[in-house]
Structure 1
Amino acid sequence: MTMMKALIAATSALALAGCATTGSANTASSADKDDAPRFAAKTEAEGPFPSTYSPYPGEATALVGATVFDGAGKRIDNGTVLFRDGKVVAVGASDLSTEGFRVIDAAGKFVTPGIIDIHSHLGDYPSPSVPAHSDGNEATAPTTPDVWAEHSVWPQDPGFSRALANGGITALQILPGSANLMGGRSVTLKNVPSRTVQGMKFPGAPYGFKMACGENPKRVYGGRGRKPSTRMGNFAVNRQTWYDAINYANEENPKRDLGKETLKGVLEGEILVHNHCYRADEMALVMDMAKEVGYRVSAFHHAVESYKIGDLLREDDVCSAIWADWYGFKMEAYDGILENAALLQQAGACVVIHSDSENDIQRLNQEAAKAQAAGARMGIEISDAATIGWITLNAAKAMGIDEMTGSLEEGKMADIVLWNGDPLSVYSRPDKVWIDGALMYDAQDPKRRPVSDFELGQQGEGDVK
């Protein structure tokens, strides 16, 4: 077979030489095409599953007279927010000109950036919660960096529209579950109705990479008599997997490996690490491991003991994505305290309030308020404007989309919530929600309340008229 290939190559070379003497360029071009592979998949750089998201139509709008929290720590009383063509045009006082804008009287109401949930499983664990819908954990090996959460997302999950209407959620990160040390890629979505997950995919958002430490992976695989079955086993498997990925990344033309391709993206800083981790000592070890093999952690998720190492997290610029008050449901959650967020804020570390729940995603504003109140009770005063940042700009920062959204600043996406009252009050809820300047929810207009196809029901034969 090798001799035959050599003969073919030699024959081709002679043919090309003959063509050159006759000045025929077309034949040479044809030979070049023949040398190309017959079949080739898209490369990672070409983006095999690109976003097809396109903003819904909107109109130039001015919100006038509201209390404005810009997400970046600023409060404006009797403020004005202008947006047009999907972008924020200006944010300021009542003297901003509204000429050319549809004016909405927002007196007595509040405006914030769209709420962002950094940790969601909507679509991968959709409603109704039945075994057939359980698509978030590829629990077949301790490391599965080859899987992508978006390939499980069901766009018809009714949880998306509930998160929009009740929680003002405009963007969210869908993560694989935490059965595995390396669970796979996450995907960031715009919270809009779409027939496909690609139609929801946030354009320009980097991929995330879900990792997990502690009880979950050692329980899942140790229970099967496999490695890892201990915390030291967790680290050993992780480290060896990273060493193998480094070797792959250093090869010139390696055989394509989807898992190592993702890990290479992490090492290159193009894919952001989101690490499920509860205990402070393990978070410190993970940061050391990251330095050992050459990546960085963008955020620790759940992180109930972050308050113990706030200084270390600040120095390494690692965010803590946490609950307001979940604790004690397993041993590694035993030392969770209500003041976690407040102590982190006091230490100058990055705080994000997340949901990990199809219910809590509908009230992240209230969860943030609970964490703020816990701090106040121990004498740590955190402003309302800073607290709003926990569910807007800080989340966007940890997800790598803060240049595009997360705060009300000129040129950023017009992802905006108009609340009927103080968003940190249990009595308040979204009045209107815009995504890229398009009005996607209006509490006063039933036609602006997205309903999943799945919720429309079925029509039996006996119902046909």
Structure 2
Amino acid sequence: MRRVGRVAGAALASVVLVLGTAQAGAREKKAEASAMSAPDDNPYPSTYRPYPGRPVAIVGATVFDGTGAEIDNGTVLVSGGKVEAVGDASLTVPEGYDRIDGRGKYVTPGVIDIHSHLGVYPSPGVRALSDGNEATSPTTPEVWAEHSVWPQDPGFTRALVNGGVTSLQILPGSANLMGGRSVVLKNVPGRTVQSMKFPGAPYGLKMACGENPKRVYGSKGRMPSTRMGNFAVDRETWIKAVEYKKKRDAGKLEKRDLAMETLVGVLDGKILVHNHCYRADEMAQVIDMSKEFGYHVAAFHHAVEAYKIGDLLKQKDICSAIWADWWGFKMEAYDGIPENAALLQDAGACVIIHSDDEYGIQRLNQEAAKAQGAGRRMGISIPDGQVVRWFTLNPAHAMGIDKVTGSLTPGKMGDVVLWNGNPLSVYSRPEKVWIDGAMLYDADNPKMRPVSDFELGQPGEGDVK
């Protein structure tokens, strides 16, 4: 009997062990499913820390605050890394502030470029450093631009010194229908891309329509080779994303899919869509596709025909990130006109001047002035303050960072440019640039002229004056 009891006890223990193991396995699977249903949204967090700055008062300058307002003989106070106050000459300057004479000069928020490839297509432009397009599949939403950014790209310091650029969005290239995630950077020297990442900025998804994807993949004998192929592949991919989201929301995912995680981030409203698109008819098609699958387009980039559908873009709160006058370099750019920005502004739509170019990023202010001039010649007069908004607050809005930067609003980041003249003049240059209240460039101080380490010793490359 004792033997039978021992056997029964052992059997019972085995059952308990099996049940316990099964329950533990179930708990592990449940935990794993939970982890897959809510993966870390930011596994590569920003380590950006502002440089230390001093309280600054810029007095006597003309101030364009980025919202469209203009203040003559204005005063801008920056303290603790943030804009403290903006006003006219009656604004009191507290004790302990470095007072900067701005008479005859102009102040704007830091310039923001919504469309840059610095770091992923850096200078020098050699094949070994060409990392902006994973052109191996029509859709690669799983790749992230930040994993290609080279912080030593001399283009960053040139953009700061020559263009007053304090923040910029780095996008994958446009070979793919879905090219991957963008990253927003503060334009500061950094050893790692994480030390440049704009804290709290949402990711973007770079998409493209039109000639690029159908040419790149059609030439390889694969789909898409037509515009209808472009949309078919996009729609098939969004269908998969919708199904993935349903499984995630129900806790039924069996494994993670990096590509789908990006697209579900778009469907959740956490990742913003930045869509390379030239023709007006294709933009309208993309808007229909966005309604079909439940996402919003933050901005159409390049958008040379946006002027044809300004009313639709205004209605959908979609910005147009455009050049001033690039046109005709391929068929879908043939209907581009210099009056594009002015017509969009006149329709009440959101206008952004972007670069897509390592040289253009150094002259966004001048590009905006060219677009303003084209409008004036056709009878559309746009105030200077509103034009400044095209390269400050409007890009911040489309990038999802306008609550913290883009205008000289108290409480926002102390990203400020002091220009030696009207920034909409070809003769004007940044004289001083602050990022989060720290002066990172001073044209009057040779020790405050940053140059990339990569430029040192290169003939003609390190001569920043």
The answer for the alignment partner of 2:294 in structure 1 is 294
- If the length of structure 1 is used for normalisation, what is the TM-score? 0.91
Paired amino acid for 1:326: W
Does structure 2 conserve the Cα–Cα contact (< 8 Å) formed by 1:42 and 1:48? no
Residue pairs, 1:274-293, within 5 angstroms: 274-293=274-293
Instruction: For residue 394 of structure 1, give the secondary structure of its aligned residue in structure 2.
Output: helix
The answer for the alignment partner of 2:17 in structure 1 is 11
Is 1:79 aligned to 2:74, yes or no? yes
Residue pairs, 1:391-410, within 5 angstroms: 391-410=391-410
Task: Pick the aligned partner of 1:95 from 71, 75, 90.
Answer: 90
Does structure 1 conserve the Cα–Cα contact (< 8 Å) formed by 2:61 and 2:75? yes
Deviation sequence 1:140-195 (CA, Å, 0-9, x none) = 00000000000000000000000000000000000000000000000000000000
> Offset of 1:452 from its aligned partner?
1.4
Distance 1:82 1:232 in 2: 54
Instruction: For residue 440 of structure 2, give the secondary structure of its aligned residue in structure 1.
Output: strand
Residue pairs, 1:191-206, within 5 angstroms: 191-206=187-202
The answer for the alignment partner of 1:21 in structure 2 is none
Paired amino acid for 2:311: D
> Offset of 1:44 from its aligned partner?
3.6
The number of aligned residues is 438
> Offset of 1:16 from its aligned partner?
13
The answer for the alignment partner of 1:340 in structure 2 is 340
Distance 2:351 2:455 in 1: 35
Q: Which runs of no fewer than 5 residues in structure 2 stay unpaired?
A: 1-12, 459-465
The answer for the alignment partner of 2:269 in structure 1 is 269
> Offset of 1:14 from its aligned partner?
6.6
Deviation sequence 1:217-238 (CA, Å, 0-9, x none) = 0000000100000000000000
The alignment-based identity, stated in percent, is 71
Distance 1:441 1:206 in 2: 27
Distance 1:46 1:346 in 2: 39
Paired amino acid for 2:396: A
Deviation sequence 1:431-451 (CA, Å, 0-9, x none) = 000000000100011211112
How has the CA–CA distance of structure 1 residues 298 and 15 changed in structure 2, closer, same or farther, with 3 Å as cutoff? closer
How has the CA–CA distance of structure 1 residues 127 and 77 changed in structure 2, closer, same or farther, with 3 Å as cutoff? same
Instruction: For residue 434 of structure 2, give the secondary structure of its aligned residue in structure 1.
Output: strand
Task: Pick the aligned partner of 2:171 from 166, 175, 179.
Answer: 175
Distance 1:36 1:44 in 2: 12
Task: Pick the aligned partner of 1:54 from 36, 46, 49.
Answer: 49
The answer for the alignment partner of 2:6 in structure 1 is none
Is 1:188 aligned to 2:194, yes or no? no
Residue pairs, 1:44-443, within 5 angstroms: 44-100=39-95, 101-251=97-247, 252-254=251-253, 255-443=255-443
> Offset of 1:369 from its aligned partner?
0.1
Deviation sequence 1:282-330 (CA, Å, 0-9, x none) = 0000000000011010000000000000000000000000000000000
Question: Moved runs in structure 1, 4+ residues, more than 2 A?
Answer: 7-10, 12-17, 32-37, 40-46
How has the CA–CA distance of structure 1 residues 15 and 42 changed in structure 2, closer, same or farther, with 3 Å as cutoff? closer
Deviation sequence 1:111-143 (CA, Å, 0-9, x none) = 000000000000000000011111001000000
> Offset of 1:268 from its aligned partner?
0.6
The answer for the alignment partner of 1:3 in structure 2 is none
Instruction: For residue 40 of structure 2, give the secondary structure of its aligned residue in structure 1.
Output: helix
How has the CA–CA distance of structure 1 residues 43 and 104 changed in structure 2, closer, same or farther, with 3 Å as cutoff? same
How has the CA–CA distance of structure 1 residues 59 and 42 changed in structure 2, closer, same or farther, with 3 Å as cutoff? farther
Distance 1:14 1:250 in 2: 31
> Offset of 1:457 from its aligned partner?
4.1
The answer for the alignment partner of 2:10 in structure 1 is none
> Offset of 1:47 from its aligned partner?
1.5
How has the CA–CA distance of structure 1 residues 12 and 292 changed in structure 2, closer, same or farther, with 3 Å as cutoff? same
How has the CA–CA distance of structure 1 residues 445 and 375 changed in structure 2, closer, same or farther, with 3 Å as cutoff? same
Paired amino acid for 2:17: T
Deviation sequence 1:191-231 (CA, Å, 0-9, x none) = 00000000000001000000000000000000010000000
Q: Which runs of no fewer than 5 residues in structure 1 stay unpaired?
A: 1-6, 18-27, 459-465
Instruction: For residue 45 of structure 1, give the secondary structure of its aligned residue in structure 2.
Output: coil
The answer for the alignment partner of 1:22 in structure 2 is none
The answer for the alignment partner of 2:3 in structure 1 is none
Distance 1:132 1:310 in 2: 41
How has the CA–CA distance of structure 1 residues 99 and 267 changed in structure 2, closer, same or farther, with 3 Å as cutoff? same
Paired amino acid for 1:253: K
Does structure 2 conserve the Cα–Cα contact (< 8 Å) formed by 1:301 and 1:321? yes
CA RMSD of aligned residues (A): 2.2
Does structure 1 conserve the Cα–Cα contact (< 8 Å) formed by 2:36 and 2:256? no
Does structure 1 conserve the Cα–Cα contact (< 8 Å) formed by 2:278 and 2:333? yes
How has the CA–CA distance of structure 1 residues 96 and 193 changed in structure 2, closer, same or farther, with 3 Å as cutoff? same
How has the CA–CA distance of structure 1 residues 15 and 131 changed in structure 2, closer, same or farther, with 3 Å as cutoff? closer
How has the CA–CA distance of structure 1 residues 263 and 14 changed in structure 2, closer, same or farther, with 3 Å as cutoff? closer
How has the CA–CA distance of structure 1 residues 44 and 366 changed in structure 2, closer, same or farther, with 3 Å as cutoff? farther
Distance 1:279 1:285 in 2: 10
Instruction: For residue 112 of structure 2, give the secondary structure of its aligned residue in structure 1.
Output: strand
Distance 1:140 1:353 in 2: 30
The answer for the alignment partner of 2:7 in structure 1 is none
Distance 1:16 1:283 in 2: 53
- If the length of structure 2 is used for normalisation, what is the TM-score? 0.91
Distance 1:15 1:342 in 2: 69
How has the CA–CA distance of structure 1 residues 12 and 102 changed in structure 2, closer, same or farther, with 3 Å as cutoff? farther
Does structure 2 conserve the Cα–Cα contact (< 8 Å) formed by 1:351 and 1:394? yes
> Offset of 1:10 from its aligned partner?
3.6
Paired amino acid for 2:58: L
